[in-house]
Structure 1
Amino acid sequence: MQRDCILKVKTCDNYEKYAAISMKPAEVLDSMEVMRKKLTDAKVEWADLIPEILWSYNTTIQTTIGETPFKLVYGTEALIPIKVGIPTLRAELYNQNHNIDTRKAELDLVEENRDVAAIKQKAMKQLIERRHNKKVVPRTFSKGDLVLRRTEEPRRPSSHGKLVANWEGPFRIAKVLGMGAYQLQTLKGDSLSGNWNISSLKLYRS
């Protein structure tokens, strides 16, 4: 009974025309989300926080590459400010000659570290792409199918404000052009000017 009710609602004419338009944002790094939140909270003082946030980003290990941007540029990890005031083995056991030798070795390996990071990044992108493709349901229309067309801003009646329907129609697929493009016609058979991309169309079920 519940499934029947859900199906009934989804095939209702008004439900389909006023259905929300999916605007899912692209995936972003968690660190970028933190940066955005911090800038939002800072309000008018956001410009003063940019150096601090960039430093935080550049000294944080990135999930996609397994390294910090700072190390990939300079060949070694940064000595963050808090470690300057707090005694650490790196500072306590500092030896200039040993430090020079270690630095030379790090610089010899920096290109290799960059190559490894690039491989990790590519592998991570491929993994994310495979996961995404598993969830994607291919969507195509055939000639004669009934579809709704997204109501673009220029065609929205200004008098209706936010209450205007997000979709208009239905229209019939007149011709499949390929590459996600279609020509439409009204139910009376009148052709609509222009071609329409599949991203602006959805199947009409009523």
Structure 2
Amino acid sequence: MDEVHEGICGTHIGGQSLTSKILRAGLRKKLEDSKGEWAKLIPQVLWSYNTTEQSSTKETPFRLVYGCDAMLPVKISLQSPRTKNINEGDDIQNRRTELDLVEENRNKSTLQQVATNRAIARKYNKKLKPRIFVEGNLVLRKVEDVRKPLGHGKLSANWEGPFQVCKVIGKGSYKIQTLDGTVLPNNWNIYSLKLYYS
């Protein structure tokens, strides 16, 4: 814990981030120390997972299911302020309020997850360069493992051709033919083709 707290960026890390970082390093240390006996640690690992805030929803799975944060057994045995100052009447009312808000918290976390997924998709799509072929384009076809001849070594060509696109089927699927006009069987996905520059 000292190593995480006092490391290079120790003074620049927030409370939530520090807690998450410590929990992940606990998990990692436990699994590395246990080696082949990892099956015995499944309950502890599941507890850690269920009580750690997820980056996509900004909530713990435990809170999404039960409507309140989990209390560690250590806090119960050591009489933390949460257990010392308990009032039966107030506690029941607070619990009812939490249960009323569970659905709202779930909806908020669902929206948060959708927003996170959209941000990831936007970042991915910035790097994506769409390829579209039209009829008459000359293309090379990837040599798939199944179609490689027996003498095909690692220095052999990975692309064969050129072929000509004879029909655009749609959604990245094409019919291709040899240069003498023989149409190849099967449809070819755009991932197996690339533009041929003569």
The match for 1:156 among 145, 148, 155 is: 148
Q: 3-state DSSP class of the match of 2:166? A: strand
What is the CA deviation profile of residues 130-177 of structure 1, one whole-angstrom value per residue up to 9, with x for unaligned ones? 333232211111222222223223212355465664433332222222
- Compared CA separation, residues 159 and 52, structure 1 to 2 (3 A): farther
What is the CA deviation profile of residues 39-66 of structure 1, one whole-angstrom value per residue up to 9, with x for unaligned ones? 9856643433333322222211112222
Give the whole-Å Cα distance in 2 for the aligned partners of 1:45 and 1:113: 37
The match for 1:126 among 90, 102, 118 is: 118
Aligned to 1:94: 86
The match for 2:96 among 95, 100, 104 is: 104
- Compared CA separation, residues 201 and 85, structure 1 to 2 (3 A): farther
The match for 2:108 among 116, 137, 143 is: 116
Q: Which runs of 5+ in 2 are unaligned?
A: 1-20
1:60 aligns with 2:52: yes
Q: Aligned ranges for residues 178-189 of structure 1 at < 5 Å?
A: 178-189=170-181
- TM-score under structure 2 normalisation? 0.71
Q: 3-state DSSP class of the match of 1:65? A: coil
Q: What residue identity is the alignment partner of 1:139?
A: R
The match for 1:80 among 67, 72, 75 is: 72
Aligned to 2:197: 205
The match for 2:169 among 165, 177, 188 is: 177
Q: What residue identity is the alignment partner of 1:103?
A: R
The match for 1:193 among 182, 185, 188 is: 185
- TM-score under structure 1 normalisation? 0.69
Aligned residues: 174
Contact 1:156 1:164 in 2 (8 A): no
Q: Which runs of 5+ in 1 are unaligned?
A: 1-30
Contact 1:171 1:184 in 2 (8 A): yes
Q: 3-state DSSP class of the match of 1:78? A: coil
Aligned to 1:4: none
TM-superposed CA distance for 1:183, in Å, is: 0.9
Contact 1:70 1:77 in 2 (8 A): yes
Contact 1:75 1:107 in 2 (8 A): yes
Q: What residue identity is the alignment partner of 2:81?
A: L
Contact 1:170 1:187 in 2 (8 A): yes
Q: Which has the higher contact order (CA 8 A, sep 6+)?
A: 1
